[in-house]
Amino acid sequence: MTAISTNDIKPGMALDLSDGLFQIVDYQHVKPGKGKAFVRTRLRNLETGANLDRTFRADETVERAIIDRRDYQFLYRDDMGFNFMDGETYAQIALTVDQVGDAANYLVDGSTVIIAMYQGRPVGLDLPASIELEVTRSEPGVKGDRVSGATKPVTVETGLVVQVPLFVEQGDRIKVDTRSGEYMTRVS
């Protein structure tokens, strides 16, 4: 770890604070008319995902955490959790259901994710902005439901239920936004 001044922090940096490991989401350097300058930050806990607003004195020293982000390929899920393989070293790691969280709804065998590691332990999992999934279960659209913008629920290969337009059928591949879980488009 290296010490860094709060005057030099930027969004995206990780800090090792007494409360835990945090990533800077936003910051603002404030110089009031009277008094000393300070730095107002919005931080995201890398382990829990919770947001925190924190104010530091200007030129205060904090510990910067070096986060190693690497591409991992999702292999399979078993009783122990989710198993991934490093694309460069072929080393395998297993993450628990709690560590993967909602990302489990978008993991299919062979998909690539970015795992953030701090001091050899995983602290985060980043998905691509969108992913292609196959529709495994779909109810047919009812004949009277042909109004503009009508949707229906379908189940994709990971078990996620997505609202899609009526023309999407079982066996189709669709693109889903991993941030919101919403349908984007049908893939041909």
Q: Which amino acid is at 78?
A: D
pLDDT digit string (tens) for 98-139? 888 888 889 988 889 999 888 888 888 888 889 999 999 988
Average model confidence (pLDDT) across the chain: 87
DSSP state of 122: E
What whole-number percentage of the chain has pLDDT above 90? 28
From the candidate CATH numbers 2.60.40.420, 2.40.50.140, 3.90.1200.10, 1.10.3720.10, the one assigned to the domain spanning 68-126: 2.40.50.140
The pTM assigned to this predicted structure is 0.72
Q: Which residues pair with 132 in a beta bridge?
A: 175
Topology at the third CATH level for domain 130-187: OB fold (Dihydrolipoamide Acetyltransferase, E2P) (2.40.50)
pLDDT digit string (tens) for 17-47? 888 888 888 989 888 888 888 999 999 888 7
